[in-house]
């Protein structure tokens, strides 16, 4: 397999994409489209919306996959309201095949397949890599891998913010 795209750098670019999308909206870049989008949004029910989205994706032809790094959006609701939002997955550091990989928390750092709950479903449904064997969370900054706000350590495995406990089978301490 060839060199990996630096997902950490992609995260930096993601912030710029989100900022630029907001800037484009504020500057009226879509002003000519907005009446049409708003009108279309009003044709739906209260559970539906029309969404204009700018995405940053990474693609890998060898894996035959792409992952969305971030999605900056404006939704047009049926009541005429407009809702802006950004969506991205938390980024974590893994030890995968004995290499440090920065990647999405809900995906496999090896094959890029969906793998949202590694702690419960310990085998990647796409490639068969096992959490705790070929893939481990790398904790070298004591940030909780569950809430990303509290602290954990080798001495204190339970997060001081969310109360979740790190299972040492699934982590490598940096």
Tens of pLDDT, residue by residue over 112-142, are 999 998 989 999 999 999 999 999 999 988 8
Q: Residue 125: what pLDDT?
A: 97
Give how far Cα 2 sits from Cα of 8, 56, 113, Å: 17, 21, 18
Which helix (H) or strand (E) segment is 35 a member of?
Answer: helix 34-42
> Is 138:93 a contact under the CB 8 Å cutoff?
yes
* Closest to 137 (Cα-Cα) out of 160, 106, 111: 106
d(CA 113, CA 103): 11
Q: Residue 2: what pLDDT?
A: 56
Q: Residue 8: what pLDDT?
A: 86
> Is 151:160 a contact under the CB 8 Å cutoff?
yes
Q: Residue 146: what pLDDT?
A: 86
Assign residue 98 a region (left: φ > 0; alpha: ψ between -120 and 50; beta: otherwise): left
Q: Residue 145: what pLDDT?
A: 86
Q: Residue 122: what pLDDT?
A: 96
- Stretches where the chain sits below pLDDT 70 are 1-3
């Amino acid at each position: 397999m060839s060199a990996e795209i630096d997902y950490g750098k992609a995260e930096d670019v993601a912030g710029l994409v989100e900022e630029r999308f907001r800037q484009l909206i504020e500057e009226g870049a879509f002003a000519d489209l907005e009446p049409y989008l708003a009108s279309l949004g009003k044709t739906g029910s209260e559970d539906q919306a029309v969404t204009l989205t700018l995405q940053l994706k990474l693609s890998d032809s060898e894996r035959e996959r792409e992952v969305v790094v971030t999605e900056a959006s404006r939704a047009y609701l049926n009541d005429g309201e407009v809702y802006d939002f950004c969506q991205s997955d938390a980024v974590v550091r893994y030890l995968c095949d004995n290499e440090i990989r920065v990647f999405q928390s809900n995906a496999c750092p090896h094959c890029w397949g969906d793998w949202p709950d590694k702690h419960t479903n310990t085998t990647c449904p796409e490639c068969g890599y096992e959490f705790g064997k070929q893939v481990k969370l790398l904790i070298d900054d004591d940030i909780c891998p569950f809430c990303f706000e509290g602290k954990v350590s080798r001495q204190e495995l339970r997060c001081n913010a969310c109360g979740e406990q790190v299972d040492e089978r699934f982590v490598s301490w940096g």
